Amino acid sequence: MNIILELFLTFLKIGAFTYGGGYAMIPLIQREVCDNKKWLKDEDIFDIVAIAESTPGPVAINAATFVGYKVSGFPGALFSTLGVIIPSFVIISIISNILKEFQNLRAVQYAFMGIRAGVLALIIRALYTMYKATDKNPFSYFIMGVSLIMTAFAEIDAIYVIIGCALFGLIYTFFIVKETKDDPA
């Protein structure tokens, strides 16, 4: 099968069967792209998440674009992005017209409550997978704690926290880690 068509169909499937946004898609993207298709390595998922979060736009679209580009250049990026967008566009168009009529039904409210619980489980799984695979050191724990406090309790916009984390990570990498590598003792 043509790689462009395969990228399109893979992300069409991911887009069609994932609810809850980009973070809920990360485990599915990892399974499809790394485990099933072997297009990328598990370590590449961290790059995907980092780039998808730090660039403008939805995480799912950015992740699909990044994977497509890494696998097959611009055509891969284009068709991966289209694949992940089309299901959401079609589903939202249909649901928005129907939901107005049924939003007050108890069964619909319970269904959405169940969907939210499932999405939370997928996000926690993505968090756990990323935690297991990352380097752990006091600096990482410090950044994680400060980020949590800033976003959850100080209600600082996440974009500023992401930018700050990137800056501190660069400083740490270029100055502190470099010094310890240069130091023969």
Instruction: Give tens-digit pLDDT for 12-22.
Output: 998 888 776 66
* Count of structural domains, the chain: 2
What value does the mean pLDDT take over residues 38-50?
84
Q: Across all residues in the chain, what is the average pLDDT?
A: 85
Render pLDDT for 150-181 as a digit per residue (tens, 0 to 9): 998 998 998 899 899 889 888 888 887 666 55
Task: Give the span between the Cα atoms of 38 and 156, in whole angstroms.
Answer: 38
The CB-based long-range contact list for 9-13 (8 Å cut-off, 24+ gap) reads: 9/83, 10/37, 10/80, 10/83, 11/64, 11/67, 11/68, 11/79, 11/80, 11/81, 11/82, 11/83, 11/84, 12/83, 12/84, 12/86, 12/87
User: Which residue has better confidence, 25 or 113?
Assistant: 113
Do residue 122 and residue 144 come from a single domain?
no
Do residue 48 and residue 102 come from a single domain?
yes
Do residue 111 and residue 150 come from a single domain?
no
Do residue 43 and residue 91 come from a single domain?
yes
Considering 78-82, 127-131, 132-136, 137-141, the range whose residues carry the highest mean pLDDT is: 78-82
pLDDT at 98 over 90: no
Do residue 110 and residue 45 come from a single domain?
yes
Question: By residue range, what is the domain housing residue 115?
Answer: 3-134
Do residue 143 and residue 62 come from a single domain?
no
Report the pLDDT value the prediction gives residue 80, as an integer from 0 to 100: 94
pTM of the entire predicted model: 0.56
pLDDT at 60 over 90: no
Report the pLDDT value the prediction gives residue 104, as an integer from 0 to 100: 82
Q: Which residue shows structure tokens 């992740």?
A: 63
